[in-house]
Chains A and B, each alone.
Chain A
């Protein structure tokens, strides 16, 4: 990812502390919680699938070519592209 996009995304992030990061950067196997994120609206389709604030989720794996990611949320799994979930902000939670 280029430095500009990282900076642009950082500017959109609410002051939640350094632990907050984009879902697309979350390591597989780390449980995390979706933050409230008012400046970057989450796509309707993702909200229909249950991606709403305070939900815990986990990246299970990435495809062999690096994209998309398989995410577990609300007891089921869905594969999403990094570009589509880059706007989602998460905080890792203790297991």
Chain B
């Protein structure tokens, strides 16, 4: 037997589960106890996240299971069903916890006690951790935790999770879990009236009702949720968010773009000319660079979204827009997920976990890829710059800006329309009770914000290192093979063109031509579309390779090459305004992102939903491009 096997001896290891309602501070406590090193997976058969971690700095090995947030053990959602099953020992492959810790928010004690009553009914060793005791005190409340412990007959401890206060004591408490008392007489639970009569009595006894309302929160809410002012303020916050995507990120993006260009140039000057150097520069560097260039946008958007979330405004935003979301059968919480999708659909799809109703959550996941993610941006920018005239239309508004705005609106409206369609067909059913809490405004800690932004950004860096590298290398190979002999009579450019014409990619592109010709696309666009199935932003790098403008980051050169490319036989422009508009519409609709498809499958627990989304979006893209091309040819 190996040493590590001896260490994780099943007899020695304590299995403890954390139970608590959403926003109770349960996950913050989990992170504080385990040092954020959680093993994250899924419960088999359901789309519920399973988080487990080793408690740090304790004398006995303790595995802590962070159960999904639940308001009650009468399950209404898949998350809550999992909690009930684990506590009842009915979940396969999940050991029955040796002990339970109920995490309740001290500022909403009465609601937490409702859950405590139900958990005590399980008659297992149980302890209660009351969070946010600093806030209770700040609001003039006096919680008598000792008295609460005597009444419940189980250990009770207070913490301030995000500042780490009391966490060391909780570690000591967990070590003694085997000796926790099981309450002699559990509180009544079967009848809600009896349960809450008990809750009211206990809360009154321990001073749970005394905290005054948070005055600061009241004052801020009077402004931010003002009947008339609330909507302009909401709109202002959204404008700020988008402004940050488009303006603030640009200097950093230019810098990364330039750095990868310079790295490519340096590689070419240092390495011997040849296939391997081409692979490194045109395949790997260009591919990784085309993804990493979005990192500044992603970091800024996530910083702002997490900041708004931590401060407490995101819940208010959901409160303000809930009615609008209700028109298409969704709810306020879906809005936050859709907002994240403007940076990237993947965090948006993951943020949909906060949507309690499974049908609403699924609808949000399926429509998230319609929101204009940052990967569409380089394609939009390139095509608009190349084909839409830079005219002023209305005062300061330029035609190019208007087209860009139109593309964003088109994506958002299609998302909402598709949600309405889904909710009235495949996802039809009784509307789940909507409930949302407006947490008190809090000043977020820099450390928590940094951890969240880092976690969200890390997946991008990983993506650049794996999927995009592989896709770029495959694309490079398709564009470079089979090799043709070097003809000394040809110029370097003509030689490159001849090589391209003979490549496997060109053959595939020509084979595709009959399908895409009705949309106004030639074989070169066909190759780009095929390549961009892996990731939208690959389109720009592909066009750069096809048009042989050298560096993929040479934007001006590529714009010029696209606008002036002519068919060698007929001498006509191979790319017109009509076909550019059709291509833009294609990118608005199509699900060209393997990572999104994979995450969708993981989050929905089946390949059925991503397949549906892919087919639906491809059909919309093809139809939309066709109509756009015909209309634009006829009228422009």
Contact = CB atoms under 8 A, between A and B. Distances in A.
B12 interface: no
B107 A76 contact: yes
A80 interface: yes
Given A75-B209, A79-B435, A81-B434, A64 B226 contact: yes
Interface string A31-75: 000000000000111111110110100000111111110101011
Contacts of A53: 193
B183 interface: no
Q: Pick from B229, B332, B432, B433 the residue with the most CB of A within 10 Å.
A: B433
Contacts of B434: 68, 79-81, 84
A45 B430 CA distance: 14
A77 interface: yes
Contacts of B221: 61
A78 interface: yes
A94 to B, nearest CB: 20
Interface stretch (B89-97, B316-324, B360-368): B316-324
Contact of B323 (A48, A68, A76, A78): A68
A75 B114 contact: no
A55 B320 contact: no
A50 B227 CA distance: 28
Nearest to A80: B435
B192 A79 contact: no
B514 to A, nearest CB: 50
B82 to A, nearest CB: 17
A43 B71 CA distance: 14
Contacts of A49: 71, 111, 114, 435
Nearest to A82: B323
A55 B231 contact: no
Contact of B110 (A66, A67, A75, A79): A75
A94 B221 CA distance: 26
A68 B110 contact: no
Contacts of A75: 108-110, 203, 208-209, 211
B438 interface: yes
A74 B324 contact: no
Contacts of B228: 64
B322 A67 contact: yes
A78 B435 contact: yes
Interface in B316-369: 319-324, 326, 332
Contacts of A76: 107-108, 110-111, 437
B438 A50 contact: no
B211 A48 contact: no
A67 B76 CA distance: 23
B371 interface: no
Given A63-B230, A64-B227, A84 B433 contact: yes
Nearest to A74: B110
Contacts of B230: 63-64
A67 B321 CA distance: 9
Given A48-B114, A50-B199, A64 B225 contact: yes
Contacts of B211: 75
A65 B221 CA distance: 15
B231 A52 contact: no
Contacts of A72: 213
A72 B72 CA distance: 19
B44 to A, nearest CB: 26
A43 to B, nearest CB: 5
B319 A70 contact: yes
B517 interface: no
A78 B437 contact: yes
B437 to A, nearest CB: 6
B436 interface: yes
29 contacts: A45-B76, A46-B433, A48-B74, A49-B435, A50-B111, A50-B114, A52-B192, A52-B196, A63-B319, A64-B227, A64-B231, A65-B322, A67-B323, A68-B322, A68-B436, A70-B319, A70-B438, A74-B200, A74-B203, A74-B209, A75-B108, A75-B203, A76-B108, A77-B437, A78-B436, A78-B437, A79-B435, A81-B322, A84-B434
Given A63-B225, A81-B322, A84-B433, 16 more contacts: A45-B71, A48-B72, A48-B114, A49-B435, A61-B221, A64-B225, A64-B226, A64-B227, A68-B322, A74-B199, A78-B435, A79-B322, A79-B435, A79-B437, A80-B434, A81-B434
- 4 closest A-B pairs by CB: A64-B230, A76-B108, A48-B72, A74-B110
